A and B are shown apart, each in its own frame.
Chain A
């Protein structure tokens, strides 16, 4: 199994541009999580999905952020318009369900907004 796949691995963009981050969870996992990691705030949960349905988006910082999961094998996190304070590493993680204790993380997307 290839694990959780994220793309791009690095993204550099200018303030005001739209950014789309992509995630492919582990096949068979029915929960998907988006996190943001910064030095100041650590690892924060932004949103998570169960069976492609958003369950809790209370961590999404503002309306500029949106996430979708159109099917079991793909999710996107979009920032529009992007701002310098959005610079962070964004992780996607997937979970197999109540039989498992572990969330499996992808390698992350390092976003820099100039």
Chain B
């Protein structure tokens, strides 16, 4: 069993919809949670970073962590075609970016 599980999709939604992306994990030692966005033929880029449980909001994006359930989510409000990308969750046990464990990534398409 993988340490981090993420549904690879693909997920296709109409423009303006609310998108929910999720990951589950098995290792309770994970303390730091990230979402990376990867456009086609590009490297991943950090989108959101959170520590421990709780919510973090940045514009149209909200990251949510529930450590009791070992479950993290990324919500995208008012989705735009430019949000079409693969979204990867990533986790770390210690502060900083070393030794990240990534989910498989969910491929998202926003249809105009």
Q: Do A and B come together as binding partners?
A: yes
Question: Could you tell me the distance in whole angstroms from the C-beta of B47 to the nearest C-beta in chain A?
Answer: 10
Question: 0/1 per residue, A42-58, Cβ < 8 Å to B?
Answer: 11110010100000100
Interface majority SS (helix, strand, loop, mixed), chain B: loop
Closest chain A residue to B46, Cβ basis:
A102
A108 contacts B by Cβ under 8 Å = yes
A contact face: mostly helix, strand, loop, or mixed: strand
Q: Mark A76-114, 1 if CB is under 8 A from B, else 0.
A: 000000000000000101010110111101111000000
Using a CB-CB cutoff of 8 Å, which residues 76-108 of chain B contact chain A?
88, 95-105
Is the beta-carbon distance between A101 and B104 smaller than 8 angstroms?
Answer: no
Q: Cβ of B49 and Cβ of A101 under 8 Å apart?
A: yes
Within the complex, the shortest CB–CB distance from A95 to chain B, in Å, comes to 5
Q: Check if B105 sits within 8 Å of A106, measured CB to CB.
A: no
CA distance A108 to B46 in the complex (A): 16
- Residue A26, interface by CB 8 Å: no
Tell me whether B59 is interfacial, beta carbon within 8 Å: no
Residues of B within 8 A of A98 (CB): 95-96
B57 proximity list for chain A (CB < 8 A) = none
Does A67 count as interface, using CB distance less than 8 angstroms?
A: no
B88 touches A95 (CB 8 A): no
Residues of chain A contacted by B88 (CB below 8 angstroms): 42-43
Which of A41, A98, A102, A103 is the most central at the interface, judged by chain B CB atoms within 10 Å of its CB?
A: A103
